[in-house]
Structure 1
Amino acid sequence: KGFAYEHEGAVWFRIPKTGTTVVEDLLLGRVKFKNSELKDLVILRSDGTPTYNFACVVDDSDMEVTHVIRGDDHLNNTPKQLLICRALGREPPKFAHLPMILGPDKTKLSKRHGAVSVLEYKKRGFLPEALINFFARLGWSHGDQEIFSREELVELFDLSGVGKSAAVFDEAKLLWINHEWLKRADLGRLARLLSEYIVQEGVASEEQVLSLGEERLARAAELLRERNRTLVDMAHAARFLFPGELPWPKEARGLLAPELAGPLLKIAKALEGCQEFTPKAVEQALRGALAELGLPLKAVAQAIRVAITGRTVSPGLFDVISLAGRELVLARLRKAAEDARKGAK
């Protein structure tokens, strides 16, 4: 009684005209607001609906919220909420106001800086643990440690480790953290996720993915996670596992010189004769063929790599050849030899 009044159909909260309202912030310390600089505020609109500052105080109190941790853009709301809380005779929660997250251009983070939805990050191939790790580290630190599991974050997080300066959203750092978590991921789980993203990205059909088998898919996941930073990158890098012509990158043009046609056919014949198609057996057959030709591996390695994967960078060459499988490898080497002879590339 006496804290509110009605005006123009709305209910207003009366701010004291004198004195100071002090916010004891767990991060910022003591923050003082002169009541004379605060204005009376509407707490119930004319249609009977409550406003934000009134509703959140009542809701937090009813829900027995003990700590309100939020961005420092809400700091100016806090003295009003404290006054409402006291007028209701309720115990206010403890407040901590965190610095804002800024975009790379040091302006307030917004949609124009990129993806803002968790589902969008999922679609782009980020792991949940990577996102949690990244966002927990925005503005908070624990020594020099960069990678944290959820369990470690629960154990180690403390407001004393939160900085007072605004943090910058650095997607390059997010990609690095995601790569670290890809390398740490359980291989069975990663293989299942890779299969989903191969289909999502239109790299291959579900039936084609299933035809690889669990063991081969796991081998692919193990190899591809070393050089790719997201599941989407891994999915596209897996394109060489499936039938179809692979587009060559611009930087690969000129690799198929006419004089490589013979060596490529010789290598294809050697690989065709492999009793096993393991990385070790592939290496022995390939090096044996090159020894007969008097050529070093580096003379043909990039041409073989691009012919089989469509990329100039890939996991180890012998691993890639073994993983792609005899049938695909022979077909692509012979096609590359034909293109080399014709000068098509």
Structure 2
Amino acid sequence: MSVVTRFAPSPTGYLHVGGARTALYSWLYAKSKGGEFVLRIEDTDIERSTEEAKQAILDGMQWLGLNWDTGPVYQTERFDRYKELIQKLLDEGKAYKCFMSSEELDAIREAQKEKGEKPRYPGTWRDRTDHPEGQPFVVRFKNPLEGSVTINDHVRGTIEISNSELDDLVIQRTDGTPTYNFCVVVDDWDMNITHVVRGEDHINNTPRQINILKALGAPIPEYAHVSMILGDDGKKLSKRHGAVSVMQYRDDGFLPQAVLNYLVRLGWSHGDQEVFTLDEMIEHFSLDGIGQSASAFNTEKLIWLNQHYIKSMPASDVAEHAKWHFDQLNIDITTGPSLESVIAIQADRVKTLKELAEISTYFYQDYDEFDANAAKKHLRPVARGPLELVKDKLLALEEWTPQSIQSAINATAEELEVGMGKVGMPLRVASTGGGNSPSLDVTLHLLSKDKVGERIDKALTFIANRENS
């Protein structure tokens, strides 16, 4: 039997961290078994579903690289199929029309609560045939009254629910639209889903869905209900913990590889290994390796992983994602050195791609003004002589290499009989606009000889204006 898994989000908001982890686990299991991964958009909640949310889900999945084999399938495009099967259940006596008003049902539930009973529909219309003409009705599934449902969950172990705990579920609303629990069942059947990976909040739905599958004569998939993700304060992950939208991590400068690596370890492990390539995740992943305990999100750990990937991934792969951040700053990277060469000298200095773009702008566009503190400290009148001499030596170089650049800086310090800092720091501020950069030899090499000459002139003008003010 070929494995088929699915990720089935509701488009009522962005793709959040918990959903992304569920998608990853489903995707990994399918890939590890040479199976198929289905993306299904469960948009039957028409009032709350939005086109923006649908697009946000697709964007998040594509950014993470969780490409689907089938889909996206939209439930709203399958209403005819749901209605066909609801009618089949009605014809077979496995479902029935219920004419109880919502007010009447609310009153019954309130009375049950007052008695300390579990609020539930009492089955009033289960066997009645005196249907009033022209009155609104819902369709309810005729849940078995005896026996129990056993779920052999890959994460939770054996779960047994007595059918007496379950009431007759509404499968079609008064307006004729099918409900979530019924659509899910039909979709899982029609799409040959063999393994359902989803959050533990769905455990209560599973026995109901299994009973409907049995009534339809459909095969029962295997289930894995994963625990929730907590914030680092032990409370359910929410906006107060920072970014919970997957695309916010892109905006904040995280690599998708780092996010995937972090998410896979939020509840699953393979020995003590912390860093996984995608191929390693696929090779080692199993549903039975998912733990039962809730996992706490640790932003510091994610930042550590992000730094690791920025430094260890090929610069060309990092550049694919870094370019987006330069675009956000309206920086045209075609006006300067290759992005790969900038990443090569900046990777050790940053935690995020956003930070990398922000500290690398001087490679592609002239700065408007010098960093105030750096200029105050290093662009003083005493720096004029070193800057003029080093400029002459740099512009006289026949080869513009890191080695020749460093030699020119060394020669300037020796000739003036000053420490390297007396030459290097004014030159760094002149060339980059600030007091921090990678080593000057590689920085100036990427800037080009003409650009360095122009910027030294700008610094000399600044010093002259400072003397005259």
TM-score bracket relative to the smaller structure: 0.7 to 0.9
Whether 2:221 is the aligned partner of 1:221: answer no
Q: Is the 8 A contact 1:262 1:337 kept in 2?
A: no
Counterparts of 1:123-272 in structure 2 under 5 Å?
Answer: 123-191=251-319, 194-195=322-323, 197-202=325-330, 204-205=331-332, 209-212=333-336, 216-249=338-371, 252=374, 254-256=376-378, 257-272=380-395
Counterparts of 1:266-281 in structure 2 under 5 Å?
Answer: 266-281=389-404
- Give the match for residue 73 of structure 1: 201
Residues 98 and 193 (structure 1), Cα distance of their counterparts in 2 relative to 1, 3 Å cut: closer
Residues 180 and 112 (structure 1), Cα distance of their counterparts in 2 relative to 1, 3 Å cut: same
Whether 2:453 is the aligned partner of 1:330: answer yes
- Give the match for residue 5 of structure 1: 96
1:107 Cα offset (Å): 3.1
1:192 Cα offset (Å): 5.5
More deviation, 116-125/219-228 = 116-125
- Give the match for residue 73 of structure 2: none
Q: Is the 8 A contact 1:12 1:42 kept in 2?
A: yes
* Unaligned 5+ runs, structure 2: 1-91, 100-136
SS at match of 2:204: helix
TM-score (norm 1): 0.85
- Give the match for residue 23 of structure 2: none
Instruction: Tell me the alpha carbon deviations over residues 227-276 of structure 1, each in whole angstroms, 9 at most, x when there is no partner.
Output: 23333333222211134235444653632243223222222222222222
Q: Is the 8 A contact 1:255 1:302 kept in 2?
A: no
More deviation, 173-182/91-100 = 173-182
- Give the match for residue 62 of structure 2: none
Instruction: Tell me the alpha carbon deviations over residues 176-217 of structure 1, each in whole angstroms, 9 at most, x when there is no partner.
Output: 323333333334454465455423321x33xxx32436xx44
Number of equivalent positions: 339
Instruction: Tell me the alpha carbon deviations over residues 66-104 of structure 1, each in whole angstroms, 9 at most, x when there is no partner.
Output: 111111111111121122222333321111111112234
Q: Is the 8 A contact 1:69 1:95 kept in 2?
A: yes
Q: Structure 1 counterpart of 2:287, which letter?
A: L
Q: Structure 1 counterpart of 2:223, which letter?
A: F
Q: Is the 8 A contact 1:259 1:340 kept in 2?
A: no
Counterpart-to-counterpart distance in 1, 2:242 and 2:439: 34
Counterpart-to-counterpart distance in 2, 1:323 and 1:249: 21
Residues 193 and 92 (structure 1), Cα distance of their counterparts in 2 relative to 1, 3 Å cut: closer
TM-score (norm 2): 0.65
Whether 2:206 is the aligned partner of 1:107: answer no
Residues 311 and 106 (structure 1), Cα distance of their counterparts in 2 relative to 1, 3 Å cut: farther
Counterpart-to-counterpart distance in 2, 1:128 and 1:10: 45
Q: Structure 1 counterpart of 2:415, which letter?
A: E
Instruction: Tell me the alpha carbon deviations over residues 314-345 of structure 1, each in whole angstroms, 9 at most, x when there is no partner.
Output: 22221112111222222323333443451699
Q: Is the 8 A contact 1:201 1:232 kept in 2?
A: no
Identify which of 402, 405, 417 aligns with 1:282.
Answer: 405
1:220 Cα offset (Å): 1.8
Q: Structure 2 counterpart of 1:70, which letter?
A: R
* Identity of matched residues, %: 39
- Give the match for residue 38 of structure 2: none
Identify which of 285, 288, 291 aligns with 2:414.
Answer: 291
SS at match of 1:86: helix
SS at match of 1:81: helix
Counterpart-to-counterpart distance in 2, 1:89 and 1:296: 85
Residues 15 and 243 (structure 1), Cα distance of their counterparts in 2 relative to 1, 3 Å cut: closer
Residues 269 and 149 (structure 1), Cα distance of their counterparts in 2 relative to 1, 3 Å cut: same
Counterpart-to-counterpart distance in 2, 1:313 and 1:20: 68
SS at match of 2:161: strand
- Give the match for residue 50 of structure 1: 178
- Give the match for residue 307 of structure 1: 430
Q: Is the 8 A contact 1:130 1:174 kept in 2?
A: yes
Q: Is the 8 A contact 2:237 2:244 kept in 1?
A: no
SS at match of 1:281: helix
SS at match of 1:107: coil
Identify which of 85, 88, 92 aligns with 2:216.
Answer: 88
Residues 85 and 280 (structure 1), Cα distance of their counterparts in 2 relative to 1, 3 Å cut: same
Q: Structure 2 counterpart of 1:241, which letter?
A: F
Instruction: Tell me the alpha carbon deviations over residues 132-189 of structure 1, each in whole angstroms, 9 at most, x when there is no partner.
Output: 2222222212223222222211111112332222223333333332333333333445
Counterpart-to-counterpart distance in 1, 2:467 and 2:164: 83
Counterpart-to-counterpart distance in 2, 1:11 and 1:27: 33
1:118 Cα offset (Å): 4.5
